[in-house]
């Protein structure tokens, strides 16, 4: 999975711009801010301008197909310090959840915990050649809301660390409820892929356009967005 970080970045210098939140569904306050993440003068609701235009097109297409539905933006731009905060937060959460003493962790326990953390969180690298996807302004985590403004049940929450986060987890399910989860995930994927986004192989909610992961999954040699 981490092979995408070997893709060469030639940043196109596309501007980081605010997402017009009135067109989408969002959570306020932002979920990571609620946990204590500090953005300073920055906002999670920013994207590169060309990525934003594609997202707006995806939103329009969704509403033409499903009247009243909206894309619900969970997270977009994520500065490195917020990436580090969420890695640390998840590490601490898993430590407590597994009944471990954070002050007495063995090297093996730390390694196992970090392996679990990095299943869902990119390494908060400050290297220009290997930025976390969200730090580029070209990645977004999102889901769907219906015409009543209710979040659709996708089978697990965003940032879920279990196998349920895999896009095709419910693909072979027989129960009507789980079939619905799979169908909703595929609706979201189709809406986004129609406008150039690619879905993370292991996360049904994560899409990108122009970053290293996008280039890697699209068999391209160059990514157009680096850390910003």
Report the candidate in 139, 159, 138 with the shortest Cα–Cα distance to residue 204.
159
93 is in an annotated binding site: no
Main-chain dihedrals φ then ψ at residue 26, nearest 5 degrees:
-140, 165
Distance CA 60, CA 70 (A): 9
Q: Are strands 46-48 and 16-18 parallel, antiparallel or unpaired?
A: antiparallel
Strand order in 206-208's β-sheet?
Answer: 25-26, 70-75, 139-145, 206-208, 198-199
Determine the 3-state secondary structure of 67 from DSSP: coil
Distance CA 206, CA 197 (A): 10
Name 46's bridge partners. Answer: 18
Determine the 3-state secondary structure of 72 from DSSP: strand
Distance CA 217, CA 139 (A): 14
141 is in an annotated binding site: yes
Distance CA 113, CA 98 (A): 10
Main-chain dihedrals φ then ψ at residue 150, nearest 5 degrees:
-95, 135
Q: Which residues are catalytic?
A: 203
Cite the annotated binding site for Zn(2+) by residue number.
134, 141, 206
Annotated binding site: 134, 141, 206
């Amino acid at each position: 999975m981490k092979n995408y970080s070997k893709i060469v970045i030639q940043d196109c210098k596309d501007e980081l711009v605010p997402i017009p939140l009135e067109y989408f569904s969002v959570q306020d306050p932002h979920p990571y801010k609620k946990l204590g993440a500090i953005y300073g003068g920055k906002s999670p609701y920013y994207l590169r301008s060309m990525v934003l235009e594609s997202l707006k097109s995806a939103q329009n297409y969704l509403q033409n197909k499903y009247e009243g539905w909206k894309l619900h933006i969970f997270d977009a731009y994520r500065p490195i310090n917020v990436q580090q905060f969420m890695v640390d937060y998840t590490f601490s959460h898993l430590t407590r959840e597994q009944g471990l003493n954070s002050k007495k962790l063995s090297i093996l326990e730390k390694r196992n915990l970090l392996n679990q953390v990095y299943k869902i969180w990119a390494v908060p690298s400050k290297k220009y050649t290997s930025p976390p996807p969200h730090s580029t302004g070209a990645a977004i985590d999102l889901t769907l809301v219906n015409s009543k403004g209710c979040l659709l049940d996708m089978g697990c929450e965003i940032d879920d660390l279990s196998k349920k986060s895999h896009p095709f987890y419910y693909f072979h399910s027989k129960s009507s409820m789980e079939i619905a989860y799979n169908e909703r995930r595929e609706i979201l994927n189709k809406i986004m892929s129609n406008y150039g986004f690619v879905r993370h192989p292991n996360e049904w909610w994560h899409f990108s356009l122009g970053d290293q992961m996008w280039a890697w999954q699209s068999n391209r040699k160059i990514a157009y967005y680096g850390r910003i």
